């Protein structure tokens, strides 16, 4: 199964564009996870868990993406359910590139 569930904050405002007969909205989602070193969770001097931030590319098709773009902005908390999509391409310098994005099927505003 290829399922992804993430909860995080928008790292920038949503960006919607027209692609033929449908709209595509791109999101950048920031999530946090505990920092791990030598197999252990890292704590700071006050005893709090240190965290690392990861950024995810989210693609949303159609009205769902348009709705997110109309109602959410950078810093807002959202939950995304979708699936991973891997792609590869050759750039202008003839270098082979690879990328991964999450195709959103459902977005909620917790």
pLDDT in tens, 80-94: 999 999 999 999 999
Residue 46: CA atoms inside 13 Å, Cβ hemisphere, count?
3
Sign of CA dihedral 23, 92, 57, 10: negative
Structure tokens at 104: 């959103």
Give the model's pLDDT for residue 5: 98
Instruction: Collect the ranges in the chain with pLDDT lower than 70.
Output: none
Give the model's pLDDT for residue 43: 95
70: exposed, middle or buried (Cβ count in 10 Å: 0-12, 13-18, 19+): exposed
- What are the DSSP E strand ranges found in the chain? 4-10, 15-19, 22-34, 36-37, 40-41, 51-61, 77-90, 96-108
What's the CATH fold of domain 4-108?
Answer: OB fold (Dihydrolipoamide Acetyltransferase, E2P) (2.40.50)
Give the model's pLDDT for residue 110: 86
Q: What is the pTM of this model?
A: 0.86
Q: Nearest-CA neighbor of 104 among 59, 55, 67, 57? A: 59
Q: Where are the domains of the chain?
A: 4-108
């Amino acid at each position: 199964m290829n399922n992804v569930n993430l909860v995080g904050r928008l790292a920038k405002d949503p960006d919607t564009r027209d692609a033929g007969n449908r709209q595509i909205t791109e999101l950048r989602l920031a999530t946090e996870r505990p920092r791990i070193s030598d197999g252990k969770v890292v704590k700071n001097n006050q005893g709090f868990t240190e965290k690392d931030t990861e950024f995810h590319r989210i693609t949303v098709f159609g009205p769902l993406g348009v709705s997110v773009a109309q109602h959410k902005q950078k810093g807002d908390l959202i939950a995304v359910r979708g699936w991973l999509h891997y792609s590869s391409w050759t750039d202008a310098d003839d270098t082979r590139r690879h990328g991964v994005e999450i195709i959103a099927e459902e977005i909620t505003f917790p």
